[in-house]
A = this chain, B = another copy of it.
Amino acid sequence: MNVEKRAKSVDLSHHLSELSKARPVSPLKGLMKYFSQPGILSLAGGLPSPAYFPVSDISANVLVPESFGLSPTEASTSLSWLWKLFSNHNANKDKTHSVTIPKYPAVEGDINLATALQYGQASAQSQLQDFLKLFISEVYRPAFEDWTVLIDTGNTDGWSRAVLTLCNPGEGVLCEEWTYPSAMASMIPFNIKPVAVAMDGLGMKSDALENLLSQWDPVLRQMPRPHVMYIVPVGQNPSGSTMSVARKKEIYDICVKYDVIIVEDDPYYFLQLGTYTFKDDRSPGATSSGKPSADESKRYISTLTPSFLNFDYEGRVIRLDTFSKTIAPGSRLGWFTCNPRFAERLERQGETTSQAPCGFGQALITKILMHWTYDGYIRWLRGLRTEYQQRRNFFVDCLAEEFHLHAVTTTAGVWEGCVVYQASSKVKKNTSITDKYSARDCTMFSFVPPTAGMFVWLRLHLDQHPSFVPGDEDTLETKLWTKLAENKVLFGPGWMFAANGMVEGSENNDSGHFRISFSNGEFADLKKAVTIFGRVIREFFQEGDL
């Protein structure tokens, strides 16, 4: 899209914070031409000799890109899932190839430890730069020409650097009304405050954003109109919502109008799971292990919702990507895609904080990517997506087995426009003695099955609780959370994710929430957790009757 419009980014350096402007350019800037002379003898840096790195080589056995199948296989919730889990899900079980990184390159340009473990450019080892540039131009296709790649140690580092590069103390950052608490914790101590924007089923509402910005009163709000947005548009954390193309365009246009920089934190981009359907309504997918191919990569990429970068003809998006969800969280490796002026400032800031990411990790991940090739990595991502789809389906299936789910389309609130499942107790055919409370015909909680990401966001209908008094939501939420924890099930407490308390027109405060992750547990444990949850929440909603 927009490829015709590709142009150089506009100069947005008026957004740089005082801190960022105070940071000097690289002190060696004027001297760099000398450093790159061929045959130069540099005794300038404090570099140890690679002869003193105690590692002669490192190797890894790496799963093949097609390790995970592409069709969510239908299965019962019992042994066949377990079997699949322990048998590594398919016939490619443990099929690996070995990769090795020697200390010294056999051929110039090979990844090697002498370079990877030395002090390095904060922008990335060159092979990783090359891979990421290819990846970004194929997958995200930014609408501006001079986009720049800069690695970081993951999106926490990325956001922390972005917010200090763009914001001054006393300013506010636009964000979704429910958002990632760690992102807020990066900025709040610097007196940079979240400014919550109301959400619906597609994430941040464009009309709410327009209203907020057009009616901004700096005196009343005690801060200037925000010029930075933090947004998780795919598999939103915690709500699980995913923004549509039309909504993204609206949000982008409003940001152009009010000169807002968009920081797109998108760790779940490759976990786009599609719509949930009940187990009985699912068509069995064909079993395919699909080898990597250029055609399949192209076709798959075309099914993904575009990044904000794809509409960004001005270069006002700073996109944050990470390998945490696609390789492993311990990678501590991610990257910025943004205009070159911001990239230069972000790089300087990184040089005095996290520096270049770990050379062991960077070398290994780069080697894996080069071994897989671009198409192999896309195939790996497709397999992962399918795995999370199975997990999402399985977890919601468990809820559907444990509770009576009633589908309604809502017209207001954070799930506006979505099919919401309202959960009430199922009348058990054989009520056991341990499950002594009979069903109450109330909605205990509701949720929208997520279309991306790792989380189910439950809204508790605490107003249905027999002893409910308005204003009492937090107490009841904590009471239920604690009961669950005492029964050995931990959910994410909803209060952690509230950006800024009350938002005009939002229904945040009429209910508690839980964020439940289906990304990690073994299937038997997910099932067990839902069963315990069922018993505990039924007891909880009965308590007032005792």
Contact = CB atoms under 8 A, between A and B. Distances in A.
Interface string A360-390: 1111100010000000000010001001000
B185 A46 contact: no
Interface string A115-142: 0111110000000000000000000000
Given A54-B327, A54-B380, A333 B358 contact: yes
A56 B63 contact: yes
Residue in A50, A54, A329, A520 with the greatest tally of chain B CB atoms within 10 Å:
A54
A455 interface: yes
Contact of A529 (B41, B67, B358): B41
Interface string A51-65: 111111111111100
A298 interface: no
Interface stretch (A211-219, A460-468, A484-492): A484-492
A45 B520 contact: yes
Residue in A94, A117, A363, A528 with the greatest tally of chain B CB atoms within 10 Å:
A117
A181 B48 contact: no
B186 A43 contact: no
Interface string A27-54: 1100100110101111111111111111
A530 B332 CA distance: 41
A356 interface: yes
Contacts of A113: 328, 330
B22 A188 contact: yes
Size category, A interface: 35 or more
Contacts of A19: 189-190
A408 to B, nearest CB: 25
Contact of A332 (B48, B49, B358, B486): B358
A178 B41 CA distance: 25
A88 interface: yes
A44 B490 contact: yes
A393 B423 CA distance: 78
A237 interface: yes
A518 interface: yes
A24 B185 contact: yes
A44 B186 contact: no
A492 B67 contact: no
A325 B96 CA distance: 34
7 contacts: A40-B489, A43-B489, A46-B454, A49-B521, A55-B63, A153-B153, A332-B359
Given A54-B380, A55-B60, A358-B360, 18 more contacts: A19-B189, A22-B188, A43-B517, A43-B520, A46-B454, A46-B517, A46-B519, A51-B89, A52-B384, A53-B328, A59-B59, A119-B324, A156-B353, A160-B352, A182-B351, A330-B362, A331-B360, A332-B355
